[in-house]
Structure 1
């Protein structure tokens, strides 16, 4: 049976229309799926290697995403891992001292729980046990971009951690990532057939959290050298 899978990286934005010019127009992502979900709307774009980026925009007058944007502005909000059993995944997390928040088993086709960024190395981690819907809900894919270039590959997410032990407890022990490569201050984790990876820079003096989304391809995208002003996210290009 397949194990835990790194599913997507999510970026909090004020409007999905802010994300499309970058995720589709620059990176070449193909609009995939989307729909409203409570106090937010989500949309995903698919990339050359099968990687997936999601943007989430707030709906209504108040909610977690309104607070996130008010406090921090647009930026990387969470990563989602699909697990075989939400119960087993939560048990692994609790066994290593993590508090489970937002556990919701009300939908038998999408059971979810979260690790809070205060404990989870500066990023929200969504755990999801997903099963096919008997009648899939209607999808509302996000916007594309006229004349979008060929899709790049999304290699994954680069983050920081204060120690190897903290990184491995989360990405290895709780989320069952395979340590593909280890250097003096870098750990790289992969998950089975998932096209994306998590790369961790170990630095005891640095704040923990996401650093950049890494992309690759045969063409060099027009990206700013630092954080993208509309998405609050750094994109790092690696040549193919």
Structure 2
């Protein structure tokens, strides 16, 4: 199964303060903005496209959200790298066969219909990696 680079997630304190760099310097275009208040997510998201690359700016909606904790522990910056797979369930099963561990409580469908799960950074030498799949169009 192919794993295709999908996007990079960047933790920011304020999307509005971060956006000018991505728009004015990188010539990005905001494709979407939304908020997810789902428990364990609690984040504002801005989806920015620069050429064929996608960046998600992630702003915590409260001080206890995972992104807020990330910023407290590691500071602003790269939160995760995401890879798109054709079938998320198959990709998870294949990875588990290879000893990959997942953050089980992160398996979900986001506000835009993307199914995703995060791989436990223990399995990736410290990098948070998201596997995701999109609904058929």
Partner Cα distance (1:36, 1:106) in 2: 10
Shift in alpha-carbon separation, 1:29–1:105, aligned structure 2, 3 A = closer
Secondary structure of residue in 2 paired with 1:24: helix
What does 1:54-203 align with in structure 2 at a 5 Å threshold?
A: 54-101=56-103, 102-104=106-108, 109-132=113-136
Write out aligned runs for 1:45-60 (5 A): 45-48=48-51, 50-60=52-62
Uncovered stretches (5+) of structure 1, i.e. residues with no partner: 134-240
- Residue 17 of structure 2 corresponds to residue 18 of structure 1: yes
Cα RMSD of the aligned pairs, angstroms, is 2.2
Larger C-alpha radius of gyration, 1 or 2?
1
Matched residue SS, 1:61 = coil
Deviation, structure 1 residue 106: 9.0
**Divergent runs of 4+, >4 A:** none
Whole-angstrom distance in 2 between the partners of 1:92 and 1:19? 37
TM-score by length of 1: 0.50
Aligned positions, number: 130
| Residue of structure 1 equivalent to 2:34 | 35
Deviations 1:198-217 (A, max 9, x none): xxxxxxxxxxxxxxxxxxxx
Is 1:44 the counterpart of 2:43 in the alignment?
no
Equivalent-residue separation in structure 2 for 1:122 and 1:132 (angstroms): 32
Structure 2 residue runs of 5 or longer lacking an equivalent are: none
Q: Deviations over 1:165-200 (max 9, x none)?
A: xxxxxxxxxxxxxxxxxxxxxxxxxxxxxxxxxxxx
Counterpart CA distance in 2 for 1:97 and 1:4 is 17
Please show how residues 214-225 of structure 1 align to structure 2 within 5 Å: none
Contact 1:93/1:100 (<8 A) preserved = no
State how far apart, in whole Å, the 2-side matches of 1:30 and 1:121 are: 32
Q: By percentage of residues, which structure has more helix? A: 2
